[in-house]
Amino acid sequence: MTGPQPDPSAVPGPGSAGHTVPAEATTGRNGTRGGALAVPLAARQASFDGRDPDQVLASAIAASTPTKCQARTRLYRDGVLELEGFPVSDISEHLKDDSAVVWLDLRDPDREDLAVLSAEFGLHPVAVEDAVHEHERPKLDRYRSHLFLAAYAVHLDTATGELATSELAAFITKRALITVRKDDGLDIGDVVSYWDTSPDLAEAGVGYLLYGLIDNVVDGHFAAVQALDDTIEALEDQLFDENSRGTEVQRRTFELRKSLVLLRRVVLPMREVVNALMRRDLRIVDESMQPYYQDVYDHVLRATEWTESLRDLVTTILETNLTIQSNRMNVITKKVTSWAAIIAVPTFVTGFYGMNVPYPGFSHQSGVGISVVIMIVAAITLWVVFKRKDWL
């Protein structure tokens, strides 16, 4: 059976194979196509895990969506995954069933994309604005019909010490979780893997989906802190390496300190976020999920404390490096001064005997011998004295 032929003026849209949208509708922000991440298609980077963002979780890519951006959908009914990749327009129909829980993921939507869903889900305009606006502080805002979550996934480049962040927003209702990824850093496939490895918890509904999302983000924070700890430990070993360059250690220290400051801004507010989610009056986390959220909260606390201690450690390394450089300079100055003193003795003797006045041994070979002996004895004596004092 052959279906209807696609419109020749259309180009493949952000959905699965065979889904098309008009060519003019594929233009996103900054003139990019398919809701791209403010950069040309050829310049897109892979996710933190190195996978192609266009192909991650391909089975869940919506067959049809009113948004210009790529969308992924999943439907759980009575705690069982029943459907994925269904059209976004079918969500309202599915939510008529009280046993249904829906997950919708939007990849870099703009205001128009979110406006399409705002009326259907009752999203507050302020929350929509925060979802579009970049560089929001990690937070959890409470509105009449939903919660708004802002968080950051992180990844540390151990080669350069640079910390990359990926901004994430989420709208949380009683029976739907809408995730908004503002860039391709976060691999949404990893989040879904969290869900699929614990299908017995799916009966908890949105609380279960939200747990998988936050746990993945917090684990990324913890992994970044651990990687920073290992990098700083390796940097400590370089401090007393005679062959290491002080400027290299200092540059590396400043890079790690900058990454730690950024990581602290991302990790520290997560304590309030997770703690707020565990409040009973929000009715997001039921009794079965409380231990899991408590475990995430413990991880957030450990990551926060670890980050604070690493900041102090990096500061100590920077100060120690400056002290070591100063000590090395003192040693070099001491050695140069000692050799200058040794060389000064022959200079003094030859200068004395070079005067055009009569002196003992003047115009005789004995005078040359006496001056040479004085120079050698004085130089050896000074060398022995300086060596004993560890000046050479």
Residue 34 near residue 171, CB atoms below 8 Å? no
Residue 126 lies in a domain: yes
Residue-number span of the structural domain to which 168 is assigned: 1-197
pLDDT, tens only, 211-233: 999 999 999 999 999 999 998 88
Of 66, 67, 46, 69, the C-alpha closest to 56 is 46
List the structure tokens of 92: 């309202």
Residue 327 lies in a domain: no
Of 122, 117, 93, the C-alpha closest to 105 is 117
Q: What's the chain's Rg over C-alpha atoms?
A: 34
Residue 29 lies in a domain: yes
DSSP one-letter code for 66: S
Spell out where the chain has E strands.
Answer: 10-12, 20-22, 70-77, 80-84, 100-107, 139-142, 147-157, 162-172, 176-181
User: Rounded to an integer, what distance in angstroms lies between the CA atom of residue 248 and that of residue 252?
Assistant: 6
Q: Domain boundary residue among 180, 197, 214?
A: 197
CATH of the domain at 126: 3.30.460.20
Residue 152 lies in a domain: yes
Residue 270 lies in a domain: no
Residue 342 lies in a domain: yes
| pLDDT score recorded for residue 4 | 38
> In one letter, which amino acid is 240?
F
Spell out a b/e string for 209-247, using b for 16 or more CB atoms within 10 Å of the CB, else e: bbbbbbbbbbbbbbebbebbeebbeebeebeeeeeeeee
Residue 299 near residue 180, CB atoms below 8 Å? no
Q: Domain boundary residue among 197, 217, 236?
A: 197
pLDDT, tens only, 156-194: 988 888 999 999 999 999 999 999 998 888 889 889 988
Residue 212 lies in a domain: no
Residues 190 and 338 in one domain: no
pLDDT, tens only, 32-89: 333 333 333 333 456 777 778 888 888 899 988 888 889 999 999 988 999 999 999 8
Q: Domain boundary residue among 178, 197, 216?
A: 197
Residue 277 near residue 140, CB atoms below 8 Å? yes
Residue 256 lies in a domain: no
Angle 206-239/270-277 helices, nearest 10 degrees? Answer: 160
pLDDT, tens only, 93-146: 898 888 899 999 999 898 888 887 787 788 888 998 888 888 888 999 999 889
| CB neighbour class for 7 (10 Å; exposed up to 12, middle 13-18, buried from 19) | exposed
Measured CA to CA in angstroms, residue 217 lies from 155, 199, 306 at distances of 10, 19, 16
Q: 97 — phi, psi (to 5°)?
A: -85, 120
| pLDDT score recorded for residue 133 | 84
In the numeric block, the tokens 């991650």 are attached to 56
List the structure tokens of 266: 């991302």
Domains contained in the chain, number? 2
